[in-house]
Amino acid sequence: MFVITLAFLVTIVVVVVGLTILWSNPGRGVNRAVFVGAVQMAAWLLCWHFAATSKNGLYWIRWTCAVGALAPLTFWIVKECILYKPGRPWVSWLARSSVWIIAPAVFAILPFTDAFIPPESTARNPIHGWAYGVYIWGLVGLYIVLFRDTFVRSKEVSGGQRVELQVWLGGGCVLAVTVYALMGLSAFTGNPLFRRLQPLAVLLFYAGTAYAVTSFRIFDARQIFLVSIQRVTLIVSIAVVAYFVQSSIELFVPKLFSFLITTAVALWLAASLDSLLDRYFQFYPKAMFARKAAFSVAQRESRLEKLESAFLGVLKGWGQAETAVIISGGKGTFAVDSPVVLDEKGLEFQAMRQLRWATPERLVRERGSPEREALRLFLSQKKLGVVVIVEGTSLTSIVGVGIPASRRPYTYPQVTQLMELASIMESALERAHFSAKVQQTEQLATVGLLGASLAHEIRNPLVSIKTFVQLLPTHHQDPLFREKFFKLIGDEVGRIDQLTEQLLDLASPRTYEAKLIELHPLLRSSLDLVAAKASHRHIEFFTEFKAAPDAAFTDASAAKQVMLNLCFNAIQAVDEARDGGARWVKIATRNTAEGIEMAVMDSGPGIAPEIRPRLFQPFQTTKSSGFGLGLAICSDILGHLNARIAVDPPVPGQGATFRVTFPCQPSLS
């Protein structure tokens, strides 16, 4: 009758684990070596099973010990596969591994000699010869040497290699010493219970190492230990408090009410104590600081280039790395100043969309593919330790951090932290992209409003040039005429050039940078366009520049954009009023305690009181056309330049008055 033992069940588990490891990545040498080790361990367990159930137990004990003596060789092969790439000459490998081939072979022969276990040894009266002690102490010595070599080599490597050396070789050596210690205790005490614990030790080892070798998620042992301590503390505390609360309340109220009260107290205690223990153990302190820093940057900055630069600093601080990368829409910045371009239809992007996150360790352990190989090369070239992808409604971002200074691989909890940071960054970047597009759209809309006025302004000098050209054949002999002609040509062409330059300046996207400028010449350079548009609508246009001095600390293009936007809004408001009254727009400047104030006033219908509180928010408009983005963009631009915009309270019968205050000193922030 066949008897199922723990050793037999563990044999099945080890075989399944070995096949799983091989299947996960059959082309990887480490996986194949681990599979060989699993086969050797399964053979040892099967012999152990027959030794425990067969009538010829001594025969199977000898085979059990012989097969077990080959374990150091399999561990050595695994170590070699972890440390060295395939393709090394067999001769050099055999020379280096000769001790680890010969020694296990010698120890595998010893169990078949009478000096190991004499023939007269029985289960009730076990006898062990001198070779038994040589066998145990010799193999323990091999494992000690292997463990020491593993410890030394783990200091020389980083990333997944270090983790696999520590988990597989370090754990395997501990398992082997434990097995032989149990074997020695059984021989010393005569109690077979110690030997029966050997399969259980193997089961625990394979349950942990199999996951570590096949899984693409790496965990921090210290963090797992702290989390375990925290959970145990939480459970024990709640259980003790619940016991005493229920025992005390049951004396005064029915059991049902005592149960409900105890449950409520336990839930309250669980929530409070869990938060307290989190603060005490300081789980992931760098993640909390990085999260706060990311939120702060997202709230403080809205311009794309400043956002990316600040976020890169947050990422490098979080990962303790020298490099970081943010790629939005296929383009990004690597280590602040080196551009990175990834095709969204390329293999790297395809791999990231499949995996959602990647580390070099994950890409090595999983089955290979052209996409993953391309992504692995990208990580290697850019020296990145982890990358994640976040896909928003209109923007896809890839966020990566370089290899940390400790050279340790990023753990899975750190990957989840980075994904959270990337989500915060993606939202801010998507908002910045949208804001930049809206600003560009508003600039182009402003250019469109200038179309008719600009055509009229260009036509006037062209008419003058055309008239002089027509008179040239009959007056070219007149020196005075020629002098006037040449001067007019130069002046009128210069005027056309200035007009087109202003138009192109408005249409081009730009980055605003505050510096000291003279405000009045800047405003006068664009007033021709505004005055022409006002004249075209039969609206009077006035200026009153009283600020002296007029030096303001702002961006010239920004000030021009804001002035034109406010003036065009005023002209459109007056033109749409059509009430038969006065039709005028006025721009004035004056000095105030806060800087230089530019006011744009009109005789239009004014601002409705219910709209005024949200006037500078997007999509708020009183006009018959447009999206209501102009004032919001003006407010956003001025906010970045430490300037401000406001509107006077509405007065019945009067138009609107907008006031922009430009600082005279640079911002201290």
3-state helix vs strand vs coil in the chain, percent to 5:
65, 10, 25
Instruction: Return d(Cα 441, Cα 633) in angstroms, integer.
Output: 11
Could you please state the CATH topology (level 3) that the domain comprising 299-431 is classified under: Beta-Lactamase (3.30.450)
Place of tokens 């009109």: 602
**Exposed / middle / buried, residue 251 (Cβ in 10 Å: 0-12, 13-18, 19+):** exposed
Decide if 130 contacts 115 (C-beta within 8 A).
yes
pLDDT for res 1 = 42
pLDDT for res 660 = 93
Pick the CATH number of 509-662 from 2.30.38.10, 3.60.15.10, 3.40.50.300, 3.30.565.10: 3.30.565.10
Cα 290–Cα 296–Cα 298 angle in degrees, nearest 5: 105
For 158, the token pair is 């980083």
pLDDT for res 7 = 84
Parallel, antiparallel, or unpaired: how do β-strands 551-554 and 515-518 relate?
antiparallel
- Domain extents in the chain: 6-214, 221-281, 299-431, 509-662
pLDDT for res 467 = 63
- Which string of DSSP letters, residue by residue, matches 516-581? EEEHHHHHHHHHHHHHHHHHHTT-EEEEEE--SS-EEEE-HHHHHHHHHHHHHHHHHHHHHH-SSS
Task: Please give the helix or strand (H or E) that residue 26 lies within, else none.
Answer: none
Instruction: Return d(Cα 665, Cα 642) in angstroms, integer.
Output: 10
Instruction: Return d(Cα 411, Cα 223) in angstroms, integer.
Output: 10
pLDDT for res 558 = 81
Examine residue 649 and say whether the peptide bond preceding it is cis (omega within 30 degrees of 0): no
Confirm whether pTM is higher than 0.75. Answer: no
Instruction: Return d(Cα 191, Cα 324) in angstroms, integer.
Output: 60
Task: Provide block-wise average pLDDT over 10 residues at a time, the chain (669 residues).
Answer: 72 86 80 88 89 84 90 88 75 81 91 86 76 88 88 76 76 81 76 78 75 52 60 80 84 82 86 72 65 84 78 87 80 48 79 88 80 88 89 82 81 85 86 69 55 55 66 74 71 66 54 83 79 81 90 86 85 78 90 92 85 71 56 78 88 87 78
In the three-class reduction of DSSP (H, G, I as helix; E, B as strand; rest coil), residue 129 is classed as coil
In the three-class reduction of DSSP (H, G, I as helix; E, B as strand; rest coil), residue 279 is classed as helix
Let me know if the fold of 299-431 is the same as that of 509-662. Answer: no
Compute CA distances 30 → 34, 370, 537, 606, whole Å: 6, 21, 81, 77
pLDDT for res 545 = 92
For 318, the token pair is 């979080």
Task: Please give the helix or strand (H or E) that residue 340 lies within, else none.
Answer: strand 338-341
Compute CA distances 271 → 223, 264, 285, 346, 642, whole Å: 21, 11, 20, 47, 44
pLDDT for res 334 = 41
